[in-house]
Structure 1
Amino acid sequence: MSVVWAATSPESGQFHPVERRSEVKDLSDRFNDLRSRGQGYVEVRSPNGEFPVLILAFRDDHAVVHLMSDAERMSLLVGDGSVLSGAEVKVPIMDDLTAFTGDFVLDIDRAWDLVRYFTQTWEAGSLGE
């Protein structure tokens, strides 16, 4: 199955905004490479439409997932309780570290499972709250 994605460059550590169309395996390989480096930022969408776009930003074992439903709407997926509500976690949004409260932080494995599910179904509504 094909996906369209853009991600942090493992070589520079900077977000490379040029989209790439490939098989899910290539996206998975990039994620694994970034994970081994400790952090990354990935945008993924179907090759059949500009939206929705799922965004995964992660650092160490913590991740934040954004959903862009269209050019005007972006939402955050509610966290999974892996970080206390009042605690803050910083993840890279494009090239800048941005703080999020535990209310929006997921375990990296759970977040990656959601990305994989999204690439199989292209259904954003079933990802969670």
Structure 2
Amino acid sequence: MSSYADVNVVWAGTSPASGRFHPAEIKSTAAELFDRFGELRSRGEGYLEVRMPDQDFPLLTVGFRGKYAVIHRADAPDSMSLLQGDNSMPFDEAVEVPVMDDPVEFTGDFVSSVDHACRTLQEFVRTSE
């Protein structure tokens, strides 16, 4: 992920030390964001909110537990959307993933693999879309 060393992002996320969401935003390189994503992934779950430094929106959130993730996108303060899942789970099954500090259940319609969520986050950081 060295190609992200010069890209800056603003993010908040689960603290690896406490396992709790820490809402204070961090401005860092995207490489540091992906390091945190990897650390949380190795611990089995986490939640991140990411935006570009010069704008409040769009904002992407990723909550994941085990091999499943759910991605939200906010385009304005009152506009939050769930991204369609990648068929990694049957649409009529459900999984809980963290949203901030709360476990929230989502059906397979909106569930992606953690790998897909990571690629989506990479694309968002690369393009802001």
Shorter chain as denominator, the TM-score bin is over 0.9
Q: Give the aligned partner of residue 103 of structure 1.
A: 109
CA distance in 2, matches of 1:121, 1:79: 20
Structure 2 counterpart of 1:73: 79
One-letter code of the match for 1:38? G
Helix, strand or coil for the counterpart of 1:69?
A: strand
Measured against aligned partners, the alpha-carbon deviations of 1:17-76 in whole angstroms (never above 9, x if no partner) come to 000000011001100000010000000000010111000000011000000111010000
What count of residue pairs does the alignment treat as equivalent? 123
Instruction: Output the CA distance in 2 between the equivalents of 1:18 and 1:92.
Output: 17
Shift, 1:104, TM fit: 0.2
**1:37 is matched with which residue?**
43
C-alpha separation in 2, matches of 1:101 and 1:28:
26
Say if 2:123 is the partner of 1:117. Answer: yes
Identity fraction in percent? 50
Determine the C-alpha separation between the residues in 2 that align with 1:79 and 1:110: 9
Root mean square deviation, CA, Å: 0.4
TM-score by length of 2: 0.94
Structure 1 stretches of 4+ with a deviation exceeding 4 A read none
Partner in structure 2 of residue 83 of structure 1: 89
TM-score by length of 1: 0.94
Question: Structure 2: which 5+ residue stretches go unaligned?
Answer: 1-6
Q: Name the amino acid aligned to 1:98.
A: V
Matched, 1:19 2:25: yes
Query: Any idea what SS the aligned residue of 2:39 has?
Result: helix
Alpha-carbon offset, residue 11 of structure 1: 0.4
Structure 1 unaligned blocks of 5 or more: 124-129
Q: Distance in 1 between matches of 2:116 and 2:102?
A: 23
